[in-house]
Structure 1
Amino acid sequence: MISKYKERQAAKEVVFQEKQQCLNAMSDFLDNLEDNQGLDEIKSAVETLRNLEKKSIIESQHKFLEEISSLTEVGITTLKKIKKEGSVNEGMWNTPGKKRPHKSTVSDLDSFDIDAIRNKINEFYVVRKEVPTLRALLEELRSSIGFSGCRETLRKILIDNGYEFKKNKNERAVLVERYDIAAWRHRYLREISAKRMEGKPIIYLDETYIHKNYKPKMSWQGPSTSGAPQPSPLEHISPGKRYIIVHAGSEAGFVPNALLVFSTKSRLADYHHDMNAENFNKWLKEKLIPNLHEPSVIVMDNASYHTVQQNKLPTTQTRKAEIQEWLNSNGIIYEDCLSKAELLCLVQKHKPDPLYVADELLKQHGHEVLRLPPYHCDLNPIELIWSSAKRMVAKKNINLPAKETEVLIKTSFGRITSEDWKKMTDHVIHVENNYKQRDKITEEELEKFIINVGDDDSTNTSDESLEVEFLDSDFEWDE
């Protein structure tokens, strides 16, 4: 199509030049004539013809582009860009890929932010006694966690995390979170307050990651500066080597010499796949425990490599003889005639509390372990420390070779002070107090609900009238 366009334009150009030569010859001839009446009008007419021809060829170019646009359904502006690219690149065009790298609107949400969204929704129901609309929730999240997405982005995030917009079950339903998670939080808040009162050091540990190409998304730029170089399209697909970071700290600062940084080339979205129980327990033995000089309370989440059981229960994959051996070792009486399925039922009936390898390792050295309740990253101040350290890395990570990235990470973490940690731990204590107040309100509201149901004159005593609706987010968790 472009070649046909060039051929037609070349033919029109030849005709245009011939007409221009004729008009020029007529103009020269008239200039040599003596000044006769009407000569000026003839010259003006010749000049008008010349201008009309020039305008005609320009209009013909635009008309041809319109014709191509109507046939191909491609905009005229796009066709002009294609034409310009061909002329600049000497007839060579770059075909756009069918799947271009697309950067999501909100790409920096971590588990801390997701938990903040979950807790904000609970706050609407319990504290404010409002139904959280997308518009109201969006305004709150923009002010509280700096959420930068639009309403549709927020809608997708809610759906991805188990929320649904659906009809309420009945007018008496009460919106509450899962009782086991609420109970876990109550125990945790009570125990950690008691440990603080005893004056025991509270050590928070966690893992995070950072990519080699981690850079600030925005910077001040001017006429003579272009800002920090951004990742290429290829880097958007593969952001480079990933560095896993393991550390621990308290209100006194990071635990000295406990930082662990190692690299991995994994492209999995969840960095937890790059950690395992062997690496974590080795870090406990070699990095954390030797640098804790007094009995401490260790706070950690429920990641899979934190919760490897020492006293594993028999499963359906276990041989019958091994199940019987487990029952004998635990002093559980059973009849020899029982089938494997019946033996497994006995195992479930008498299953002991789980003993975790990491917990037992820490207890051997005089330390206690507190487990964070699920979906409560906001109770761990190290999550806020990660953000501060990553900002330091991004600020200095400009055209650094890969071998210097690890050095930059360690240097950035070394700049986190005890004052920074004290500020974050004080913030978490404030969050704990908010939870206590909110939980108190929740319990009071539930008591009112129970009293109102008991005083109801309705004769309907079916289970449906006492139905309790759980949050749509209360699906099975697995950390």
Structure 2
Amino acid sequence: MAEFQAGMNEDNVYGRTAKLTGVSESTIRRIVDEGFKNGGKFSTPGKHRKGRPTKHIDDFDICSIRQKVQFFYTVQKEVPTLRKLLAVVKEDLNFDGSYELLRKILISIGFKFKKCQSNRLALIEKPAIASKREYYLRHILENRRLPEELQKNIIYLDESYIHESYKVTKCWQSTNIAGVQQNVSKGKRWIIVHAGSEKGFVPNALLIFTGKNKQEDYHSEMNAQNFIKWVTEKLLPNISEPSIIVMDNAPYHSITTNKAPTSASRVDEIKLWLLENNIPFDETLRKPSLLMLVKKHKPEPIYYIEELLFEHGHTVVRLPPYHCDLNPIELVWAIVKRRIAQKNVCGQNVAKLAEEAFQAVPQEWKNCVEHVIKIQTYRNSNV
């Protein structure tokens, strides 16, 4: 720079600098230009900093957080704040997340922080979630109020997972007897699909397979094709009477047969859908206007799995979002996993241990269902 200002030949300076540094003249010119433009300040490439690891919160934890919010209102008779709630879930649920993570979880399960009628800010559940809970409870309790001979059997289905290294965390041991040895890595992950009622598990409906991605949520290991195959080959052949089938709203449970176009659809696809549904439109309309027509005439979704089960005499009732406490199979999963952990001493075949555990818990189903009935009755009294 000083040589430029002294009136020296710029070309000579560029050439000598390039020769001494081993960098091309064009690069030298670009660097000098950048210096002139930025007042002598040069930008440096940003460092690649490793972000915080993602915390995976399962459905049971989410359900427990929802119950804690309810506990503040119904038992402690006080308005929950994020700081109060964070302290409680850390102590009672061993929640190790941050204030911000808890806020995001509450928003994702249908809560929002808004002014109530007294103009005081409070955590309020979204009406859509409460409405779906009311719909679910009404259908389940109406069936239970019928004479016993007219009641339909209620079958609950769900998916879960267990790692190959799933073992007890504490055991009796000494300097001579090491006890259970924990693995460094979690090993394989097994995806489990099953269904049951107060009578026990549906016979021969168990599906266990090895997951491929240990980092993703276990729901990503399932897809509609596998789920429909399980329903067709393992569930339906083993249900002997018309039943009520309870399931959640996982994407693979919710494939529709009348899917409407979205903003990702091509214009010709949108027009074809409008024609097939006898909806008049102007051929000169652009995509935004066509999508407005779709939104206006969009039908109620028809779910493939519900149609399939209906054809075989069964009725589907959907669990309200984030209400695993209304599904007794969640309690059964805990019992099964505990029994697997007690048997998994030497890293044995987890799939075999799971099959043995499922065969040993039919008598537990009735207790789990009775526990959920109490929750359903309580929820219905204060929907």
Q: How would you bin the TM-score normalised by the shorter chain?
A: 0.7 to 0.9
The reply on whether 1:219 has 2:171 as its aligned counterpart is yes
The aligned runs of 1:307-346 (5 Å cut-off) are: 307-346=254-293
2:63 corresponds to which residue?
A: 115
Q: Matched residues in 1 for 2:366 and 2:320: separation?
A: 22
Identity among equivalent pairs (%): 47
- When normalised by structure 2's length, the TM-score is 0.76
How much does 1:226 deviate? 2.3
Comparing 329-338 with 349-358, greater Cα deviation is found at 329-338
Aligned partner (choices 131, 152, 166) of residue 200 of structure 1: 152
Pairwise mapping of residues 32-111 of structure 1 onto structure 2 (< 5 A)? 110-111=58-59
User: Which amino acid in 2 is paired with 1:346?
Assistant: L
| Aligned: 1:187 with 2:135 | yes
| Alignment of structure 1 residues 187-266 onto 2, 5 Å | 187-198=135-146, 199-232=151-184, 235=185, 239-266=186-213
Identify which of 349, 368, 392 aligns with 2:339. 392
Q: Measure how far apart 1:253 and its partner are.
A: 0.4
Distance in 2 (alpha carbons) for counterparts of 1:193 and 1:284: 25
3-state SS of paired residue (2:382): helix
- Aligned letter for 1:432? Q
1:282 is aligned, of 220, 225, 229, to 229
Q: Which runs of 5+ in 1 are unaligned?
A: 1-102, 440-479
Mapped to 2, the partners of 1:291 and 1:365 lie a distance apart of: 12
Partner amino acid, structure 2, of 1:219: C
Displacement, 1:223?
A: 4.5
Which residue does 2:354 correspond to in 1? 409
Preserved contact between residue 126 and residue 438 of structure 1 (Cα < 8 Å): no
CA contact (8 A) 2:113 2:121 kept: no
Q: What is the count of residue pairs matched by the alignment?
A: 323
Partner of 2:16: none
Deviation at 1:414, TM superposition (A): 1.0
2:376 is aligned with 1:432: yes
* Cα 1:213/1:331, change in 2 over 3 Å: same
In structure 2, what is the Cα distance between the partners aligned to 1:117 and 1:319? 42
Residue 124 of structure 1 is matched in structure 2 by 72
Name the counterpart of 1:299.
246
**Whole-Å Cα distance in 2 between the matches of residues 159 and 180 of structure 1?**
19
**How do 1:133-144 residues align onto structure 2 when only pairs under 5 Å count?**
none
Deviation at 1:366, TM superposition (A): 1.0
User: Post-superposition shift, 1:119?
Assistant: 2.3
- 2: CA distance between counterparts of 1:133 and 1:353? 37
Which residue does 1:43 correspond to in 2?
A: none
Return the offset for 1:248. 0.1
In the TM superposition, what is the alpha-carbon distance from 1:224 to its structure 2 partner?
A: 3.4
Hey, what's the Cα distance between the residues in 2 that align with 1:167 and 1:243? 38
Letter of the structure 1 residue corresponding to residue 159 of structure 2: E
Contact preservation (8 Å) 2:189, 2:211: yes
In our comparison, the structure showing a higher alpha carbon Rg is: 1
Which is richer in helix?
1
**Closer, same or farther: CA 342–249 of 1 in aligned 2, 3 Å:** same
Whole-Å separation in 2 of the counterparts to 1:334 and 1:153: 51
What corresponds to 1:3 in structure 2? none
Query: What displacement does 1:337 show?
Result: 3.4
Match of 1:78 in 2: none
TM-score by length of 1: 0.62
